[in-house]
Amino acid sequence: MTPLRRKAGRWLADFLSRPLLNYEPYSAINSEHFLALLQPGDVLLVEGNTRISSAIKYLTQSTWSHAALYIGDLLGQGTDAETAPTLIEADLSHGVIAVPLGKYAQHNTRICRPLKISSGDCECVVQYAADRLGLSYDLKNLWDLGRYLLPTPPVPAFMRRRMLSLGSGDPTRAICTTLIAQAFQSVRFPILPRVEVLAEPERQLYGYSLNEIHHIRHHSLYVPRDFDLSPYFRIFKPLQKLDFDYAAMKWKDQLEAALNLETDNAGRRGQRSPETMNGQ
């Protein structure tokens, strides 16, 4: 039964990973400009365009359905935006893979940069992810996959995110940002830790000088929006052009007004007054 379930899971994963036809990015980003903004250790949030993306965005109440980690030239194949594998991501069908940045040039994206992380810890984060390239996920857990068939599952708002954590199958770990969360937690860099405020007697009992301590949340509970919400990551929005100048932007109404004015002027020049015609 297990091989049959695994085969069914593979088919279901491929079905959920197919792109939707009605996806439209707000603006197409030039890959080279995109590349100039990124640094190793950055987390790229993506608004996905697949069937499963719709369900994830609904369940997490967020724009972002996917996350990838930028590793630069760690794999020694350059940093060309269209061909070099500079992003590491967990893919439902293929496991942990490296892909070029150009894969997401036509998607709505955000760049999340860890604040004040040391260069040594940043290297550890990207190496942690690189060491897991080739890791595959067992897709025999059909429940973990089947819940994503509905783009808007009939689940109350307060239960939507919890629905992602139901079950313990590999598909959930592939869909959520488990790998990236583990990479940052390996150097104890915070994402969204649970903060506990200690009362004065507890501080004295445990010898804490601060009244707050942080608890690491389990890596399986993280979703892409957590990197956007985290106060420990700075957010960057990719621009179409690095030399952006709002005053140089061309607006349709201005172009139409200029065209109408030019047409009116041309019409006036083409008209001849009776006096002019009689004079000839």
Q: Going by DSSP bridges, is the β-strand pair 109-114/95-100 parallel, antiparallel, or unpaired?
A: unpaired
Residue closest to 83 by CA, chosen among 18, 44, 35: 35
Per-residue pLDDT, 248: 83
Per-residue pLDDT, 232: 96
Q: Specify the CATH superfamily of domain 2-248.
A: endopeptidase domain like (from Nostoc punctiforme) (3.90.1720.10)
Q: Mapping DSSP to helix (H, G, I), strand (E, B) and coil, where does residue 11 land? A: helix
Reading the chain (280 residues) residue by residue, the pLDDT tens digits are: 466 766 766 666 677 767 777 767 676 667 777 888 899 999 999 998 887 787 778 777 888 989 999 999 999 998 888 889 999 998 877 889 999 998 888 888 999 999 999 999 999 999 999 999 998 765 544 455 555 655 666 666 655 555 555 454 555 555 668 899 999 999 999 998 876 665 555 545 555 544 545 555 666 668 899 999 999 999 998 776 667 788 888 888 888 888 887 777 777 766 655 555 555 5
Q: What is the DSSP letter of 103?
A: G
> Would you list the domain boundaries of the chain?
2-248
SS (H, E, C) 177-235: CHHHHHHHHCCCCCCCCEEEECCHHHHHHHCCCCCEEEECCCHHHCCCHHHHHCCCEEE
Per-residue pLDDT, 209: 47
Strand partners, 112: 43, 235
pTM of the predicted protein model: 0.74
Per-residue pLDDT, 180: 94
